[in-house]
């Protein structure tokens, strides 16, 4: 059985097929861009978390240095007090 189509029918079927192809490709492209956007958002969130963690680590580092100075001073004072008591 041979199907004979005239030029108008071929053009219409071609246009429909082309439209379906473009629609399908737009769905995939939109999903790809959405995934890229989601990835960018997640990376930004991660960068913010990393920045906050770095700030917290810097604060902890400063506190440790202050505590080290306090301990060193306390050790010197205790050593001096012991030396004075032993004289």
1 within a domain of the structure (yes/no): no
pLDDT tens digit sequence for 5-51: 677 777 877 888 887 777 766 655 555 555 666 777 778 888 888 88
pLDDT tens digit sequence for 44-75: 888 888 888 999 999 999 999 999 999 999 99
Q: How far apart are CA 38 and CA 78, in angstroms?
A: 59
24 within a domain of the structure (yes/no): no
Query: Which pLDDT belongs to residue 40?
Result: 73
23 within a domain of the structure (yes/no): no
Per-residue DSSP letter, 50: H
How far, in Å, are 49, 59, 63, 80 from residue 43 at the CA level?
A: 10, 24, 30, 55
69 within a domain of the structure (yes/no): yes
Domain count, the chain: 1
Query: Which pLDDT belongs to residue 25?
Result: 63
Q: For residue 33, give both structure tokens.
A: 């861009």
Which domain does 87 fall in, by range?
Answer: 35-87
| DSSP per position, 55-85 | HHHHHHHHHHHHHHHHHHHHHHHHHHHHHHH
């Amino acid at each position: 059985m041979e199907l004979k189509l005239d030029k108008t029918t071929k053009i219409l079927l071609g246009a429909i097929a082309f439209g379906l192809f473009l629609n399908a490709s737009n769905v995939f492209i939109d999903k790809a861009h959405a995934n890229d956007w989601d990835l960018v958002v997640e990376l930004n969130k991660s960068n913010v978390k990393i920045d906050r963690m770095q700030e917290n680590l810097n604060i902890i580092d400063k506190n440790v240095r202050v505590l080290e100075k306090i301990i060193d001073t306390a050790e010197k004072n205790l050593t001096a007090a012991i030396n004075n008591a032993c004289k």
